Structure formats: C-alpha cells, structure tokens
Homo-oligomer: A and B are copies of this chain.
C-alpha cells in the first residue's frame, strides 16, 4: 500500500488501475457510515490495494476512487465474500444511483511544483 497523506493517494507509479465510484445517496444513514468504514478498512488489507480517496459534497454526490496494481486485484476484491455481501445488502438501500468505472491510469503528476503531500 502506498502512502496516503491527508486523504490523497500519493507516490503511485503508472501504470496502475483506478475504480471510480460516483454515487448519489438515498436519504438517511441506514448503516451506511459504519459499513463504508468497514469496507475501506477491509479493502486496505487486500493484495494489490494501492490507496483510496473519497469525497462527498453538500449536494449529495460522492466520488470514491480506489487504486489497484492490476485488474486481477480488482477482480479479487470484487469477489471478496464480505465485500460482495455488503454490496448486495447496501446497493439499493444506500444509493439512489451509482456509476462504476474501471480505468487504467496511464500517466500522473502532482503539484503544486515544489510541494510534497
């Protein structure tokens, strides 16, 4: 796992993979916050996990990007039994809509010039 300073995954060297999960929540928590924390902690123990970033704005749109060293690592995480059960339990309960995009990061850079995260 890479460094993650202040919620930003830094120091990753392309190529690697990103899973971009964009969602709009339903009303109410319905156990979401605890389940989300548990899934982030579980993801971080998975082989090939590189980092995760997450933000949700006041308009209810949230974006979570997890980074992985291979497509195989993503597939394994998708098959993880606890993750699959939580996903199945929560997807209609917690989300009005979501989009999942699996992407290969081809290049990356950081800034502002002269800073380190």
Tell me which of B5, B61, B106, B116 contacts A53 (CB under 8 A).
B61
Q: Is the interface of A mostly helix, strand, loop or mixed?
A: strand
Most B CB within 10 A of own CB, among A55, A59, A62, A91: A55
Q: Shortest Cβ distance from A102 into chain B, in angstroms?
A: 5
Chain B proximity mask over A91-108: 1 for CB below 8 Å, otherwise 0: 110011111111111111
Q: 8 A-B Cβ contacts within 8 A?
A: A5-B97, A14-B101, A20-B65, A55-B62, A95-B112, A97-B112, A99-B109, A100-B109
> How many chain A residues touch the partner (CB < 8 A)?
47
Considering only residues 1-36 of chain A, those with a C-beta below 8 Å from chain B are 5-10, 14, 18, 20, 22-24
